């Protein structure tokens, strides 16, 4: 945001042209449900923080429906223009919708991008009845079974399906999610997948990563470390992970489980009971949200993500792969496609299968695990570099504005028609 302009590495981006500093920037307003902890929040932060990688100048603002959390504070510290509507979670607010409409009028963006269901519905409703800026829906979730969603989310999803022809485009961060939402009833001629992107300079194998890991969590050098970074939530299915690691620990007493994420600083009673039942004493180490993942992730033996539903493109998988860490995940969203040959995949909700997947990697030599790590990092560099993803969003914005301009000039388009 405050960094000097630079020309990104665009080996995988077609038709790239260097940014013209004299060109007017595209003004983008990102509307997101909240900026606390989560993959969508982190991806939005990366997009805004790396906007200099775009071949088109951008001016980006962020509005959070809910009060800012830790990611929001990081955004503000980095110089992001962040606004909030101060809504309360789970409570629809017509007055907040009016405030959003006034904010859009005040900022006068060229494009509004709504991140996650509630935010892109709010952005769409705020623009009803007038010729406002085109709205993009950014879906950050997979939809295996709507019955797994909260009642209010089900209402929102059904309403969004009925309105899904309205946005100028619908973006998914996972191919599996695009298929699922299409089957659910999201129909729009401009639906596309833009995967998450990663800073491979920040997240990379580091010679001192294992030392940092041991110092941060009091681990011994001979520990076999399985780490999971995810909020403490049933969607992430920590009980399957805990039971699976318990099975691994029966054959490898040096196994240690790191459970890191929002909620683990004071875990619910059922999670603590699962740990006590499945794992030896002191085999589990719990921590709340941390911002130092890149320092020690490369020292972990296996990164594990046991989600039961809802994942689209898990950011943390890309970060672990970029650090050269083998991964085990459940076959939810695009996790299998992301990991490829850099780890193992198990079916969700199956502790035995998950334990077997971890055990396969545990049985490898350190050299074999390093080979998996190199495969994973190469995938991130080739497919998911942040510069490439920033440019793909810029291409989307240019396409939407070109379509809008074309419609305005066409005599066949009725006055007031929207994109």
Any idea what DSSP says for residue 331?
S
Query: Which contiguous run of DSSP H or E holds residue 225?
Result: strand 224-229
The reported pLDDT for the residue numbered 148 is: 81
The reported pLDDT for the residue numbered 24 is: 87
pLDDT tens, position by position, 197-210:
999 999 999 999 99
pLDDT tier, 9 (very low <50, low <70, confident <90, very high otherwise): very low
Contacts of 220 (CB under 8 A, 6+ apart): 214, 254
Comparing C-alpha atoms, which of 146, 207, 195, 145 is closest to residue 171? 195
Residue 419, pLDDT > 90, answer: no
For range 358-383, the mean pLDDT: 95
Query: Virtual CA dihedral for 6, 12, 14, 15, nearest 10 degrees?
Result: 20
Q: Radius of gyration over alpha carbons of the chain, in Å?
A: 22
Is residue 252 within 8 A of residue 224, CB to CB? The reply is: yes
CA dist 8 and 152 (Å) reads: 42
Determine which of 81-95, 386-400, 403-417 has the lowest per-residue pLDDT on average.
403-417
Is residue 16 within 8 A of residue 55, CB to CB? The reply is: yes
Is residue 303 within 8 A of residue 328, CB to CB? The reply is: yes
Query: Virtual CA dihedral for 412, 120, 308, 354, nearest 10 degrees?
Result: 80
The reported pLDDT for the residue numbered 22 is: 53
pLDDT tens, position by position, 172-182:
999 999 999 99
Determine which of 1-15, 161-175, 292-306, 328-342 has the lowest per-residue pLDDT on average.
1-15
pLDDT tier, 410 (very low <50, low <70, confident <90, very high otherwise): low
pLDDT tier, 414 (very low <50, low <70, confident <90, very high otherwise): very low
CA atoms within 13 A of residue 115's CA, in its CB half-sphere: 23
The residues facing 302 across adjacent strands are 226
CA dist 49 and 314 (Å) reads: 19
CA dist 112 and 418 (Å) reads: 14
CA dist 281 and 136 (Å) reads: 49
Which one is predicted more confidently, 143 or 256?
256
SS3 state at 127: coil
Contacts of 67 (CB under 8 A, 6+ apart): 34, 84, 86
Domains in the chain and their CATH numbers? 26-197+385-409 (3.40.50.2000), 209-383 (3.40.50.2000)
Query: Which contiguous run of DSSP H or E holds residue 322?
Result: helix 315-322
For range 38-63, the mean pLDDT: 93
């Amino acid at each position: 945001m405050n960094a000097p302009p630079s020309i990104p590495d665009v080996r995988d981006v077609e038709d790239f042209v260097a940014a013209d500093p004299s060109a007017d920037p595209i003004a983008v307003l990102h509307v997101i449900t909240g900026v606390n902890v989560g993959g969508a929040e982190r991806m939005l932060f990366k997009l805004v923080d790396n906007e200099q990688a775009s071949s088109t100048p951008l001016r980006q603002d962020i509005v959070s429906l809910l009060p800012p959390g830790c990611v929001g504070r990081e955004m503000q510290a980095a110089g992001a223009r962040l606004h909030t509507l101060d809504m309360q979670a789970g409570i629809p607010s017509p007055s907040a919708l009016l405030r959003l409409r006034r904010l859009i009028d005040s900022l006068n963006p060229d494009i509004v991008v709504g991140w996650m269901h509630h935010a892109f519905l709010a952005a769409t409703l705020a623009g009803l009845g007038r010729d406002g800026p085109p709205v993009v829906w950014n879906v950050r979730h997979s939809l295996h079974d709507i019955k797994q969603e909260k009642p209010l989310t089900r209402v929102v999803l059904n309403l969004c399906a009925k309105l899904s022809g309205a946005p100028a485009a619908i973006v998914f961060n996972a191919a599996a999610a695009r298929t699922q939402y299409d089957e659910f009833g999201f129909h729009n001629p401009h639906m596309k997948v833009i995967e998450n992107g990663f800073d491979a300079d920040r997240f990379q194998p580091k010679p001192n990563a294992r030392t940092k890991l041991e110092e941060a969590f009091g681990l011994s050098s001979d520990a076999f470390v399985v780490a999971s970074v995810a909020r403490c939530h049933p969607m992430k299915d920590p009980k399957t992970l805990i039971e699976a690691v318990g099975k691994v620990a029966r054959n490898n007493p040096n196994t240690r489980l790191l459970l890191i994420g929002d909620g683990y600083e004071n875990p619910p009673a059922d999670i603590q009971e699962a740990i006590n039942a499945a794992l030896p004493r002191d085999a589990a180490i719990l921590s709340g949200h941390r911002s130092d993942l890149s320092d020690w992730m490369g020292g972990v033996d296996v990164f594990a993500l046991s989600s039961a539903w809802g994942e689209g493109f898990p950011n943390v998988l890309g970060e672990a792969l970029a650090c050269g860490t083998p991964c085990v995940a459940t076959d939810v969203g695009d996790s299998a496609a992301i990991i490829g040959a850099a780890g193992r995949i198990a079916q969700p909700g199956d502790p035995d299968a998950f334990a077997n997947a971890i055990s396969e990697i545990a049985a490898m030599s350190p050299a074999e695990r390093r080979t998996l790590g190199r495969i994973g990092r190469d995938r991130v560099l080739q497919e998911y570099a942040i510069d490439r993803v920033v440019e793909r969003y810029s291409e989307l914005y240019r396409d939407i504005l070109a379509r809008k301009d074309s419609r305005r000039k066409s005599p066949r388009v009725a006055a007031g028609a929207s994109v």
